Amino acid sequence: MAGDVINIGDSDFQKQVLDAQQPVLVDFWATWCAPCRAIAPSVEALSAQYKGQVTFAKMDIDANQDTPQKYGVRSIPTLLLFKGGKVVDQIVGAVPKARIEDVVKKNL
């Protein structure tokens, strides 16, 4: 994956997301999901734009099922923004880059 987006899994979710010092936007996705692939360039661009302020992460729901289940991810793409170890915002579905950026800016 290009850009500053990190891949995370169930095993490192606590360390990478819940214990993070800055906000973390987690993109729950799957390789077969066309809308997930459609928003990926926006997530990548925002990860470069907000480097050092927000961490951007992707979690493949097929390879990691515990975390999406714990957070009630029922459809993808689902973007959850964590701050201080808690979900503070969410986006479900393919949305324009501006909508994702609004959520990021609102929670800085």
Pick the catalytic residue from 5, 17, 26, 36: 36
Pick the catalytic residue from 33, 54, 76, 79: 33
> Is the Cβ–Cβ distance between 48 and 3 less than 8 Å?
yes
Active site residue 33: yes
Q: How far apart are CA 102 and CA 67, in angstroms?
A: 25
Q: How far apart are CA 85 and CA 17, in angstroms?
A: 7
Contacts of 71 (CB under 8 A, 6+ apart): 80, 87
Nearest to 76 by CA among 87, 64, 86, 85: 64
Active site residue 83: no
Catalytic residues, by residue number, are 33, 36
